[in-house]
Amino acid sequence: MPQQRRIHAPLLALALLAGATSRAAPVEVLALGSDGKPLPETVVFLESGEAKAAAKPGGMAEMQQIERRFVPRVLVVVPGTEVRFPNRDKVRHHVYSLSPAKTFELKLYTGTPANPVLFDKPGVAVLGCNIHDNMVGWVVVVETPHHAVAPATGLARLPDVPPGRYRLRVWHAGLPPGTPATESPLEVPAVGVRTQVKLPLTASAL
């Protein structure tokens, strides 16, 4: 009689976890304007109960100031993320936000402030500089690890998304202030999915 092999519970759990991870697939979202052309800097994210549970707090992100601009202009993080605002310019900056999602002020400084800013609740924080009125940036806080900002091609890629049902949310800084992210259902199969969305904006008008 052949000898049966025993699989210990910890090894079985690891095998199941590896199998679940291997089933995750990419989701690609093409963001277009009303003219059908790519819409860079569109924020794309997937929401669900499982995604919210997977959005672990913590970590560090960075939004630099280079040539009197925020780089990147649009930064997406999960709640509990600390963001540094290093000044790479030779002039001083005074970064602030008056948004309900996050109110803070980094008074006139060069280099990197000692204390990063903690973004602890979802929403959109609009950033400015008290010295340079043309400087504007956005920190978008979302309760999901599945998020991306579309590059110049307009194609946002969210890697390793587990199969399931999600709410596809899309937002752009060019929308009227206070406009919430659009929402539509999205079923993600085990092989991944590619879809497209249109916003009432054109890149030329931004």
User: Is 165 a residue whose pLDDT tops 60?
Assistant: yes
Amino acid at 121: K
CA–CA separation, 50 vs 77, rounded Å?
17
- In this prediction, residue 32 has a pLDDT band, given cuts at 50, 70 and 90, of very high
CA 36-38-40 angle, 5° bins:
145
Given a cut of 80, whether residue 132 has pLDDT beyond it is yes
Query: What pLDDT does residue 58 have?
Result: 79
Going from N- to C-terminal start, the domains of the chain cover 25-55+147-206, 56-141
Element (H, E) at 137: strand 136-141
Res 176: pLDDT? 93
Total-model pTM:
0.87
205 pLDDT tier (thresholds 50, 70, 90) = confident
Task: Look up the CATH number of domain 56-141.
Answer: 2.60.40.420
How far out from the chain centre does Cα 94 lie? 24
How many Å apart are CA 19 and CA 32, to the nearest integer? 35
> Which residue type does 113 have?
P
Q: What percent of the chain shows pLDDT beyond 90?
A: 83
Q: Report cis status (omega within 30 of 0) of the bond before 72.
A: yes
| Mean of pLDDT over the chain | 90
Residues of the chain above pLDDT 70, percent: 89
Determine how β-strand 117-119 pairs with β-strand 147-149. Answer: unpaired
Order of strands across the sheet with 182-188? 147-149, 43-47, 164-171, 182-188
Lowest mean pLDDT: which of 14-28, 109-123, 188-202? 14-28
- Domain 25-55+147-206: which CATH number of 3.40.50.11540, 2.60.40.1120, 2.60.40.10, 3.40.228.10: 2.60.40.1120
148-177: average pLDDT? 97
